[in-house]
Amino acid sequence: MAIALTETGLIMEQQSRISVYFRGRAVGEYFADLLVNNLVLVELKAASRLTTEHEAQLLNNLRATPYEVGLLLNFGPKPDFLRKVFDNERKTITWKM
């Protein structure tokens, strides 16, 4: 995946360290599977199917970080994907990037 993204000219970072915030305070770090063009969080799975838990994880990561767009890609028996958006205007903190 990383090779394919780079070959298309996208800037891609693997296991990107991202600060996580709760009520305006840094509470820890999260490592995104991929961060594309410093805009899109990508979570990679190899599960039998995408579940509500996978979706909740992606949404929570979007809520707790300055990123607004997330992709959940499943490379299981039946490949699937999910795109989620969580607008920063809905978040209550100021980001320090």
Domains of the chain, first to last: 2-90 (3.90.320.10)
- For the segment 15-33, the average pLDDT, to the nearest whole number, is 86
Assess whether pLDDT exceeds 70 at residue 68.
yes
Which amino acid is present at 75?
F
More confident residue, 92 or 71: 71
Assess whether pLDDT exceeds 60 at residue 96.
no
Tokens read off for 33 = 């599977």
Q: Please give the pLDDT value at position 93.
A: 61
Torsion, Cα 70 11 39 82, to 10 degrees, reads -10
